[in-house]
Structure formats: C-alpha cells, structure tokens
Amino acid sequence: MMSDRKVRVLIVDDSAFMRNVLTRMIESNPQFEIVGKAVNGREAIEMVAQLKPDVVTMDIEMPEMNGLQALQYIMSSTPTPVVMVSSLTESGTEATLKALELGAVDFIPKALNDAEKNIFRSAGNVHSRLLTAAAAKVSARAGSNAAVQVPQQQAVRKDSQPAAPAPTPRATPQPASRPQRFERAKILLIGSSTGGPRALQDVLSGLPGNLRVPVVVVQHMPASFTGPMANRLNDLCPLHVEEVKDGTLIQSGHIYVCPGGMQARVQKTDKGLMVKVQPDEGESLFKPSVEVMGQSVADALGGDVLAVMLTGMGSDGNKAFKRLRDAGAYVIAQDQATSVVYGMPKAVVDNGAAHEALPLGDIAAVISKLLS
C-alpha cells in the first residue's frame, strides 16, 4: 500500500447503524477514506467492480445475497482483500471460519450489544487489521479453495473418501541442506496468523494419517474461534484435530490447536510431552503466541523439532525459530509469493532461521518426506 495515498474502503452492511458506526470509526484515522457503502451482497459485487477499493468490510447476514455468497463471487471474479465483520456467536463463528476458507483476509469481531462503544474501543486494532488486509495478496488461483466449496455436511471424514483431491504440489528443487529424512524430529510446530486458517487447511489436509510425530498449531485467533476451527480441520484432515486442553499429553497422529486468548507451552514430563495452557501474563501481544510456544518447545526438545512458519503479520516466533534452528531443528517458511501477508515467514527468513522458503502447495509434501 502506497503511503502517500489513503486506503480506500468499501463498507458492506445491511444495518444503517453499523454502516455509520464503521464509517465514523474508520474515518477517525486519516489514512482511510470510505469510497462506498453497500447494503447487501449484490450491491457489494457491483461496487467492488466499479470502485476497486483497497479493502472491503463485509457483514455476513444480509438480505438478497449474504456476505459469504458475495465473498465467493468477489474472490472468483474481482479478487479484493475482504475483512469480515462478525458477531461472537456460534453461528457467527462458523460463518467467519467459512469466510476465511473462501479467501477473506481477516475478521473484526463485533458485540451484539453496545456495538458502537465496543467497536470504537477497538478502533486501533481495526485500523491495523484494515491496513494489513489492504496490503495483502489475494488471488483467484485455480484449486485454491476447491476443498472449501464442498458444503460442510459433505466435508471429508476419516472414514470416507475425499470429495476432491488435494492440490498437486509443484516440483521444488531440494536444497542441499535438506535431509532425505529428519529422523530426530519429535514434534511438528506450525505458526500462523493472517491468512493462516486457509493455509493451515492446505497443509494439514495434505499430511498422512500415520504421521509419526504430534503436530502443534499456533494460530493467532480469539478464544471463541480456535475450537470451531479445530473441529472444521478435523472434518478435513486424515489426522485427528482438537483444541488442546491444559494437561494434555500429546500423541503422534494428532494435531493440537492452541486455544485463543491463552498461552500454551510444551513441557517434558515422565509420561511424555504435555501441553500447559495458562492465562497470558503480559508476555506477548498475541494469545496464543508462536514465540511463547516455540521457546517452550526449545526448552523441552532442543533441536528435535520440525518447525514451519506460515503466512502472518508481524514477527511473532522468529526468535524462538532461530533458537530452534541453532539447536539443530529444521525450519521451513512459507514463501513470499504464496503468503497472504509476508510478515512472520519473512522474519524467520531474514534472521537466518529458515533452511528454505517453500510455496504453500509444496509444504505438506516436504513435511511428509522429512517425517517419513
């Protein structure tokens, strides 16, 4: 995003009250200008094509055409960064996760009561999310959302055949430093943020059902979203996926999603590796934090780790990943071309932690080979 011009925002919401609230909140920062307001998904599609905004805020429940339908059309015809405005309800959470799978860059939670006060209190966070989204790369890559176009009730189960094949990994030259197998690995650690839910689906659904190590996922996400995200991933992945609870002994063949709003750490015990989940004590801006988890993994396992950093804003986890590499871990970063936001993987590359940067479509295959 060019710093010498304003970020052009299109607001899509059927509520006049919410359109006004969002307008006042967004325009309180001089970096933004509202270029249009749509009251339903059909208007949104037309205005995106005509106005070509830098970023769209999209409500979910609207008449004529809802936000998910509009998002799917926009991402296929006029790919544009979209930030969903979502209520913190069970149905709102599920719809938001679906939107992230369909290509939305991020979401802004909204309270069902006292909405104006709630949103204005988080104005700085919203401005940051919109700036990040406006700079994000979105595309209508063929096959990138084929899996999520399947209705939820038809999602892939452990005991059924996949509804659609996983994207075929592109051939990537193997760097001289990559071993044929990384036998010392005792855990697979994955960090992600903005753009992560969609990237996680691509990677985790491509892992074999007999993976010999446990997988720990740290995705920046609020408390009410990580559990439903784990459930959705569980429907799509050969491995069992769950939101990890305090005191869980982690096992191979399982994927553990760290809960939002808390900090999670791995500890070595006489019974094996245990995850401790505790309230954040001000140690990180992110809850959960890749840095906090990564440092605990280094404490427990040294370099016996395969670590992967996917798309995300900022640099959370880069110090821990450098420590892991220095101890002998193998570190992979998602490459710039396929990252929605090339922040966290860039930090891992720039500080020398990453052995290699790979396109998203290659990562699952490389993990599978290293952990075979």
Is the predicted pLDDT of residue 152 greater than 60, yes or no?
Answer: no
Alpha carbon 3 to its chain centroid, in Å, reads: 26
Residue-wise DSSP of 268-294: EETTEEEEEEEE--SS-SSSS-HHHHH
What SS3 class is residue 50? Answer: helix
What's residue 109's pLDDT? 83
Q: Which helix (H) or strand (E) element contains residue 219?
A: strand 215-219
Is the predicted pLDDT of residue 156 greater than 60, yes or no?
Answer: no
pLDDT: is 112 or 187 the higher one?
187
Parallel/antiparallel/unpaired status of strands 272-279 and 248-249:
antiparallel
The whole-number average pLDDT for the span 152-160 is 35
CB contact at 8 A, 268 and 300? yes
The whole-number average pLDDT for the span 171-195 is 83
Helix pair 67-77, 41-51: axis angle to 10 deg: 30
pLDDT: is 87 or 107 the higher one?
107
What's residue 180's pLDDT? 87
Is the predicted pLDDT of residue 171 greater than 50, yes or no?
Answer: no
All structural domains of the chain, each given as residue ranges with its CATH number in brackets, are 7-135 (3.40.50.2300), 174-370 (3.40.50.180)
What's residue 139's pLDDT? 82
> What's the pLDDT band for 120 if we cut at 50, 70, 90?
very low
CB contact at 8 A, 88 and 109? yes
The pLDDT tens digits for 269-292 are: 999 999 999 998 887 889 999 999
Strand partners, 249: 274
Beta strands in 88-244 (DSSP E): 106-110, 188-192, 215-219, 240-243
Is the predicted pLDDT of residue 148 greater than 90, yes or no?
Answer: no
Task: Mark 181-207 as b/e (b = at least 16 C-beta within 10 Å).
Answer: ebeebbbbbbbbbbbbbbbbbbbbbbb
Query: Any idea which residues carry the catalytic annotation?
Result: 193, 220, 316
Pairwise CA distance, residues 192 & 61, whole Å: 28
Least trusted range by pLDDT, from 25-29, 102-106, 147-151, 297-301: 147-151
State the average pLDDT for the chain. Answer: 88
Pairwise CA distance, residues 16 & 5, whole Å: 28
In the sheet that holds 248-249, the strands lie side by side as 248-249, 272-279, 262-269
**Reported pTM:** 0.86
Is the predicted pLDDT of residue 137 greater than 70, yes or no?
Answer: yes
What's residue 40's pLDDT? 96
Pairwise CA distance, residues 83 & 123, whole Å: 14
Residue 37's identity, in one-letter code, is: K
Q: Which helix (H) or strand (E) element contains residue 256?
A: strand 254-257
In the sheet that holds 32-38, the strands lie side by side as 32-38, 7-12, 55-59, 82-87, 106-110
